[in-house]
C-alpha cells in the first residue's frame, strides 16, 4: 500500500525551506517528489537593474555558503566580456579565498551530516573547527560570511605579510582536525554501517542526471572545473582531484574530507608562491558583449552568463548553481532504501536550496506554462529589449 510522507517545508532537520514528498510502501521509498520554490527571490530579475559593482554584492547573497563562488564566477564573466586582465597577486588571493570557503563549507556539511545520523558530537566538533577558518576570513576580508572580496578587475583587500604566519598556524590546526575526522569516520564501525551502500548513485546515472562537484566525483565521474577550465591561479599550483567510485554516502563524505586536505595544500602553495604587486586593475568601461564565468564552488560548478549593454548594467544575467543538478539526482538515489536513510541521502548531495530556486508561472489556476509558452515569452522579451536598445 502506498503512503505519502511529507518532509518539509519547515522540517527540524532542514535549515532551509523545501518540500519533499516521499511515497513509501511499508518502510521502503518507492518514489520521491521534489518541490522547490520556497526560497525564490528573483536574482536574475534584479541583476539587470543594478550596476556591476552592486551585482557583485547581490550575487553574493544568492547563497551564504558559496558567497565567494558566485561573485567569483560573476566577475570572471564580466572580465571575459570586457577583456580585463587581472593582476597575478589578485588571482592568488582569489584562490586562497575560494579554498578557505571550500574547507568551511565541507566542515559545515560534515557537521550537519553527523547531526542527521544522530551523531551530534561530530556536529559540535566540526562546527568548532570551522570557526578558526571564519577567523581568517574576518581578519582578511572583515566579515565572517559575506566576504565582499571579489570586484571586477581584482580583489578588494590584500593579504598582508604579517597575516600569513597566522593563517599558516590556523591551517595546521585545521589539518590536524581534518585528519582526526577522517580517522574517526573511517574507523568507526557504527558510522561505516550507517553510511556504506546507502543512497548509491551509479556512474551512468550520475552522468545522465548531469551531477557536478563532490556528488559526481563520489560516483566516479572525474570532473572539476578547477582543473578542466582553470580559473584564478589553479593552473599554477599542484594538486589532485579526489575521485571515488562507490557513489554511496560514505564516498561523498570521503571526497569532501580529502578535498579539505587538498584545499589546505593549495592554500599553502598559494601563500608561498604569491607574487608582490597590485591587487586590482582599473576598469574604465565595460563594452557591449557577452561573457561566461565558471568557478568550482564547494558543491560543484557555478556558471554565470552575462550580456553587457555597454552601459553600467547588464541586459541579461543567467546563473546556474550546482545544487540544481544535484538535487534532481535524489529522485534516483533515495528510491529503494528505507525512510530512515532518505533524510541522510537528501542531505548527502550537500543541497543548497537558495542557489537552486526556479519559478514556474501559472497563467491561471488551470494552465501550467510549458516549454513552448516560456520560449514564446522569452522571444517577446528579447524583441522588446531589441526595440528598446536599438532606439538608443
Instruction: State the Cα–Cα distance between residues 211 and 251, nearest whole angstrom.
Output: 15
Compare residues 82 and 113 and give the one whose CB is closer to other proteins.
113
Our CB check for other proteins shows the closer of 127 and 239 to be 127
CA distance 342 to 100: 30
Residue closer to other proteins by CB (options 28, 128) is: 128
Q: How far is the CB of 89 from other proteins (least distance, A)?
A: 28
Other C-beta atoms closer than 10 Å to the C-beta of 284 total 8
Q: Which residues bind other proteins (CB under 8 A)?
A: 9-10, 12, 15-17, 37-42, 45-46, 49, 54, 57-58, 61-65, 67, 108, 111, 123-124, 127-128, 131, 144-146, 352, 354, 357, 359
CB of 78 to other proteins, least distance (A): 19
Q: At closest approach, how far in Å is the CB of 82 from other proteins?
A: 24
To other proteins, the closest distance from the beta carbon of 239 in angstroms equals 27
Q: How far is the CB of 90 from other proteins (least distance, A)?
A: 24
DSSP class of residue 366? S
Q: Which is nearer to other proteins, 117 or 223 (CB)?
A: 117
Nearer to other proteins, 24 or 354 (CB): 354
**Cα distance between residue 321 and residue 319, in whole Å:** 6
Q: 2 has which bridge partners? A: 25
What's the closest the beta carbon of residue 352 comes to other proteins, in angstroms? 7
d(CA 136, CA 141): 8
What whole-number distance in Å separates Cα of residue 258 and Cα of residue 214? 11
Euclidean distance between CA atoms 306 and 293, whole angstroms? 8
CB closer to other proteins, 39 vs 163:
39
Name the DSSP class of 285.
-
DSSP assignment of 296-355 equals: EETTEEEEEEEEE-SSSSEEEEEEE-THHHHHHTHHHHTTTSBHHHHHHHHHHT---HHH
Q: Which residues pair with 116 in a beta bridge?
A: none
Nearer Cβ to other proteins, position 259 or 357?
A: 357
The C-alpha cell that represents 196 in the structure block: 556504506
Q: How far is the CB of 365 from other proteins (least distance, A)?
A: 15
CA distance 300 to 357: 16
Amino acid at each position: 500500500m502506498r503512503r505519502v510522507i511529507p518532509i518539509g517545508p519547515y522540517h527540524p532537520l532542514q535549515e532551509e525551506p523545501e518540500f519533499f514528498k516521499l511515497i513509501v510502501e511499508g518502510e521502503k521509498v518507492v518514489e520521491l517528489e521534489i518541490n522547490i520554490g520556497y526560497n525564490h527571490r528573483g536574482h536574475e530579475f534584479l541583476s539587470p537593474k543594478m550596476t556591476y559593482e552592486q551585482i557583485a554584492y547581490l550575487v553574493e547573497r544568492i547563497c551564504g555558503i558559496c558567497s565567494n563562488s558566485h561573485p567569483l564566477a560573476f566577475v570572471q564573466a564580466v572580465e571575459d566580456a570586457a577583456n580585463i586582465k587581472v593582476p597575478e597577486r589578485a588571482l592568488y588571493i582569489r584562490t586562497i579565498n575560494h579554498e578557505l570557503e571550500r574547507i568551511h563549507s565541507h566542515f559545515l556539511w560534515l557537521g550537519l551530516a553527523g547531526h542527521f545520523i544522530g551523531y551530534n558530537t561530530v556536529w559540535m566538533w566540526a562546527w568548532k573547527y570551522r570557526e578558526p577558518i571564519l577567523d581568517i576570513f574576518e581578519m582578511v576580508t572583515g566579515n565572517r560570511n559575506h566576504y565582499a572580496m571579489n570586484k571586477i578587475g581584482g580583489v578588494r583587500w590584500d593579504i598582508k605579510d604579517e597575516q600569513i604566519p597566522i593563517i599558516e598556524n590556523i591551517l595546521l590546526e585545521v589539518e590536524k582536525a581534518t585528519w582526526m575526522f577522517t580517522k574517526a569516520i573511517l574507523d568507526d564501525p557504527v558510522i561505516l554501517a550507517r553510511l556504506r551502500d546507502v543512497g548509491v548513485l551509479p556512474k551512468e546515472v550520475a552522468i545522465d542526471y548531469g551531477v557536478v562537484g563532490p556528488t559526481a566525483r563520489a560516483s566516479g565521474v572525474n570532473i572539476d572545473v578547477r582543473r578542466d577550465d582553470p580559473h584564478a591561479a589553479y593552473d599554477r599550483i599542484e594538486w589532485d582531484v579526489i575521485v571515488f567510485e562507490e557513489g554511496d554516502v560514505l564516498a561523498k563524505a570521503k571526497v569532501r574530507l580529502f578535498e579539505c586536505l587538498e584545499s589546505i595544500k593549495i592554500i599553502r602553495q598559494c601563500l608561498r608562491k604569491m607574487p608582490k604587486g597590485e591587487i586590482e586593475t582599473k576598469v574604465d568601461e565595460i563594452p557591449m558583449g557577452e561573457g561566461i564565468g565558471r568557478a568550482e564552488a564547494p558543491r560543484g560548478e557555478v556558471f554565470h552568463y552575462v550580456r553587457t549593454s555597454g552601459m553600467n548594467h547588464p541586459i541579461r544575467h543567467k546563473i546556474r548553481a550546482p545544487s540544481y543538478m544535484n538535487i534532481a539526482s535524489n529522485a534516483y538515489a533515495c528510491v529503494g532504501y528505507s525512510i530512515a536513510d532518505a533524510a541522510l541521502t537528501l542531505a548527502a548531495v550537500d543541497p543548497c536550496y537558495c542557489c537552486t530556486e526556479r519559478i514556474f508561472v501559472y497563467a491561471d489556476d488551470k494552465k501550467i506554462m510549458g516549454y513552448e509558452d516560456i520560449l514564446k515569452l522569452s522571444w517577446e522579451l528579447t524583441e522588446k529589449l531589441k526595440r528598446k536598445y536599438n532606439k538608443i
